[in-house]
Amino acid sequence: MALIGKIKEKSGWAIGFIAIALGLFVVGGDILGPNSVILGNDSQNVGVIAGEKISAQEYGQELEVLKNNYAAQLGRQPSEEELPGLREQAWNRFIEKIAYQKQYEKLGLAVTADELTDMVQGDNIHPAIQQSFVNPSTNQFDKNLVIRYLKSFDTLPVNAQAAWINFESQLGPERLKAKYENMLRLSTYVTKAEARREYEDQTTQADVRFLYVPFFSIPDSSIKITDEQLQQYLDKNKSKYKGENTRTIQYVTFPILPSSQDSSELYQEIKDLAKGLAAAQDDSTFARANTDVPANAGYITMDQVPQELQGEIATFIKGGMYGPYREGDTYSIYKLTDIKDDSVASVRASHILFRSDSTAASQSEALKKAQEVLAQIKAGASFEEMARIHGADGTAQQGGDLGWYTQGGGFVKPFEDALFNFNGTGLLPNPVKTEFGYHLIKVTQPKTRRKYKLATIKKQIAPGEATREEAFRKADEFAGTTSTSQDFITKVSKDATLASFTAEKLRPGDNNVNALPNAREVVRWAFSEETEVGDVSQVFELDNQYVIATLTGKTDEGQVNVDNYRPELTSAVRNELKAQQIMQKLGTPTGDLQALASSYGGQAQVNTAQDVTMSSNTLQNVGFDPEAVGRIFGLKKGQRTQPFAGANGVLIIELTDLTPAPEVADYSQYKNQVTQTISSRSPYYINEAIKEKADIEDKRYRFY
């Protein structure tokens, strides 16, 4: 009885415990599992902007809206190459909705309903609406068309309504951002002192004489650099080198190339299609249904006849079949469905250009040479050979052949007139003058007004299933027997048929990997939180090749080390060490610069530069070197600097003359210049400042 009493006493607690346990069992996966919000997991977020998490679902919905708008405007879905741009637009919309909005709220900026109405049907119509509602009779924007459109809005197709609603939803944010940017832009103020300084920077001129020893005068191989020196330089210049989230991979490709069997099978297919095309009553429809490459289905002039068919023109008959022809991986067959005469003529010709400029001497020389060569051709010399020897344009290597040309197709008028006023074939009797020089012309095919209509089928040789399976088998075998980067490198070194490639500093948003297009899946794998340095990927299929990668290096935003910037650091430290060597050899220089240069050796140059201005930032024979230019204007006439390291070498600069800027009463021109420069850069600087303040974490690479 005592035991039963104890059970009754504790039963409430026990039942509660069981209920909690059952609850945890049911929802534990959501609360304490890998995607737990309580445990701080953000695996379903694409990023954070100004402290606000952006879920993958939210971002996906925004992206879908942009994709639908794109499809509505162009009549097709965006391609793989176009998707990264749309993803960036979607992300920027969130930056504006969150980071910009915080700034708007601090300033009390807003867009009223009246403003929105004004942008659609008021006095300040949005440019997009002005372009869309144009009266065809006046070719001008018509506000009545907008009002009529809005009144009939409920009767419009659903996709049209959705497109308008989306457009309207962007009007407010767009106007708000414009207000904000204009407010900050208008806050720009340039003082008279700043305007005067700009005037003096542009107008004060200095003449200098300088000794210059370029860094490249010392071979790179003679400079030994240690990691300790690189680290010391990095520690002193941390502000120059920001941490980046990057990955470096090595990869191999297994191309899926058509086999001889694939080619044979396609050749048989194209022959069967030729029989079908020959017998087809509606040949144009048959061709369109069976071709891989769309072709011109209308009448074409001689210059538009495919190159492989031009040799067959003499045998052209209506209903005739031509081909198959092979060019690269494409087979072509043609059926001549109709022939007609047109008002515009075509002719085939060759020419030899003797180029001249506008001076009388140049033209006289070109004419003399043209007449000499013309005499040789009339005496029996080959026109084609003379074109190869004397031709001054790109046709020379083809013996001057211009191919078929249709009247009005773009030749300069004197040339075209001479060509089409000549009857038959053969050499024109005299050189023809144009703005380019003098031409000798030979008509190789007589004028014709014929136009042709062709039904065309082009089939591209594609890898068959067996070919794809064999390529995948090789790739899968490589991946299945390779578990580390060292295995990867060893296998590649032992197999002469494999070539490996390195892609350095991939970034999370990259879509391509070197020359591999649409390689987004490879990039996502490289940035996956589960991928470690040394890991080897699964097999990726990219277009017509299989790819396997290994992660060989990574850098993170929060950590900067020498390997992140090794090439840049090495170059900077190498130049520092070269500068030390050069200045040590120069010692404490005295005397004339030329004598110093002779004492130093042939690598030292003495040059002069006239009319140097502070705003130029460049020095003749040295290049871009703002520090060197700045030092010039710190000198008095006759003074010179001690040796110093510039951007490209060591210099000693002597000021030989200085022409101060003349006094002017009005600096408004320069004040406007500075104001316009600052104003034009304002949107960029504003955007960068807001993004920096928002402390953005972009994790979209985990999903896209």
State residue 297's pLDDT score. Answer: 81
- Calpha distance 363→231 (Å, rounded): 65
Task: Tell me, yes or no, whether 211 and 276 share the same domain.
Answer: no
Is pLDDT at 529 greater than 60 in this prediction? yes
State residue 68's pLDDT score. Answer: 86
State residue 163's pLDDT score. Answer: 81
Task: Tell me, yes or no, whether 396 and 280 share the same domain.
Answer: yes
Is pLDDT at 1 greater than 80 in this prediction? no
Among the three residues 462, 496, 522, which one is the final residue of a domain in this structure?
A: 462
Task: Tell me, yes or no, whether 531 and 618 share the same domain.
Answer: no
Task: Tell me, yes or no, whether 602 and 633 share the same domain.
Answer: yes
State residue 42's pLDDT score. Answer: 61
Considering the domain boundaries, does residue 697 fall inside one?
Answer: no
State residue 501's pLDDT score. Answer: 95
Residue 41's pLDDT band (boundaries 50, 70, 90)? low
Task: Tell me, yes or no, whether 274 and 413 share the same domain.
Answer: yes
State residue 169's pLDDT score. Answer: 87
Which residue range forms the structural domain that includes residue 211? Answer: 205-217+565-659
Is pLDDT at 635 greater than 70 in this prediction? yes
Task: Tell me, yes or no, whether 412 and 442 share the same domain.
Answer: yes
Q: HSE-up of 67 (CA within 13 Å, CB side)?
A: 14
State residue 558's pLDDT score. Answer: 77
Task: Tell me, yes or no, whether 324 and 410 share the same domain.
Answer: yes
Task: Tell me, yes or no, whether 473 and 396 share the same domain.
Answer: no
State residue 408's pLDDT score. Answer: 86
State residue 549's pLDDT score. Answer: 96
Task: Tell me, yes or no, whether 129 and 18 share the same domain.
Answer: no
Among the three residues 411, 442, 462, which one is the final residue of a domain in this structure?
A: 462
Residue 7's pLDDT band (boundaries 50, 70, 90)? very low
State residue 428's pLDDT score. Answer: 94
Is pLDDT at 20 greater than 70 in this prediction? no
Is pLDDT at 16 greater than 80 in this prediction? no
State residue 633's pLDDT score. Answer: 95
Give the other-Cβ count within 10 Å of 333's Cβ. Answer: 24
- The rounded mean pLDDT for the chain is 89
Strand order across the beta sheet in which 644-645 lies: 605-612, 205-214, 649-659, 644-645
Buried b (16+ CB within 10 A) or exposed e, 630-646: ebbeebeeeebbebebb
Residue 616's contacts (CB-CB under 8 Å, 6 or more residues apart) are 629
Return the percentage of the chain with pLDDT > 70, whole number. 94
Dump pLDDT digits (tens) for 358-395: 899 999 999 999 999 999 999 999 999 999 999 999 89
Number of domains in the chain: 5
Mean pLDDT of 61-69: 90
Give the other-Cβ count within 10 Å of 413's Cβ. Answer: 9
Name the amino acid, one letter, at 408. G
Considering the domain boundaries, does residue 98 fall inside one?
Answer: no
State residue 682's pLDDT score. Answer: 92
- Could you tell me if 482 and 312 are in contact, meaning their C-beta atoms sit under 8 angstroms apart? no
Lowest average pLDDT, out of 292-296, 309-313, 412-416, goes to 309-313
State residue 358's pLDDT score. Answer: 86
3-state DSSP percent of the chain in helix, strand and coil, to 5: 50, 20, 30
Mean pLDDT of 38-62: 83
Is pLDDT at 543 greater than 50 in this prediction? yes
Detail the DSSP E strand segments found in 22-181: 45-49, 52-55, 134-135, 140-141
Q: Which of 446, 304, 469, 444 lies closest to 384, judged by CA? A: 444
Strand duo 52-55 + 45-49: pairing: antiparallel
Is pLDDT at 21 greater than 90 in this prediction? no
Considering the domain boundaries, does residue 692 fall inside one?
Answer: no
Task: Tell me, yes or no, whether 429 and 498 share the same domain.
Answer: no
Handedness of CA 123, 128, 131, 132 (dihedral sign): negative
State residue 534's pLDDT score. Answer: 95
Mean pLDDT of 24-37: 39
Dihedral through CA 622, CA 625, CA 627, CA 628, nearest 10?
A: 20
Considering the domain boundaries, does residue 101 fall inside one?
Answer: no
Residue 689's pLDDT band (boundaries 50, 70, 90)? very high
What CATH code is carried by the domain that includes residue 350? 3.10.50.40
Higher per-residue confidence, 39 vs 668: 668
Residue 34's pLDDT band (boundaries 50, 70, 90)? very low
Is the pTM higher than 0.75? The answer reads: no
Considering the domain boundaries, does residue 50 fall inside one?
Answer: no
Task: Tell me, yes or no, whether 300 and 370 share the same domain.
Answer: yes
CB burial of residue 230 (10 Å; 0-12, 13-18, 19+) = buried
Task: Tell me, yes or no, whether 250 and 267 share the same domain.
Answer: no
Is pLDDT at 18 greater than 50 in this prediction? no
Dump pLDDT digits (tens) for 259-281: 888 898 899 999 999 999 999 98
Higher per-residue confidence, 136 vs 593: 593
Is pLDDT at 72 greater than 90 in this prediction? no
Is pLDDT at 13 greater than 50 in this prediction? no
Residue 518's pLDDT band (boundaries 50, 70, 90)? confident
Residue 164's pLDDT band (boundaries 50, 70, 90)? confident
State residue 32's pLDDT score. Answer: 40
Considering the domain boundaries, does residue 21 fall inside one?
Answer: yes
For residue 130, give the 3-state DSSP assignment: helix
Residue 655's pLDDT band (boundaries 50, 70, 90)? very high
The CA angle 611-616-618, to the nearest 5 degrees, is: 90
Considering the domain boundaries, does residue 614 fall inside one?
Answer: yes
Name the amino acid, one letter, at 293. V
State residue 75's pLDDT score. Answer: 81
State residue 505's pLDDT score. Answer: 87
Query: Measured in whole angstroms, how far is the alpha carbon of residue 183 from the centre of its chain?
Result: 33
State residue 2's pLDDT score. Answer: 35
Dump pLDDT digits (tens) for 562-590: 888 888 999 999 999 999 999 999 988 88
Mean pLDDT of 77-81: 86
Quick one: DSSP state of residue 100? I
Among the three residues 559, 583, 611, which one is the final residue of a domain in this structure?
A: 559
State residue 33's pLDDT score. Answer: 41
Is pLDDT at 8 greater than 50 in this prediction? no
Considering the domain boundaries, does residue 61 fall inside one?
Answer: no
Is pLDDT at 195 greater than 60 in this prediction? yes
- Calpha distance 57→265 (Å, rounded): 47
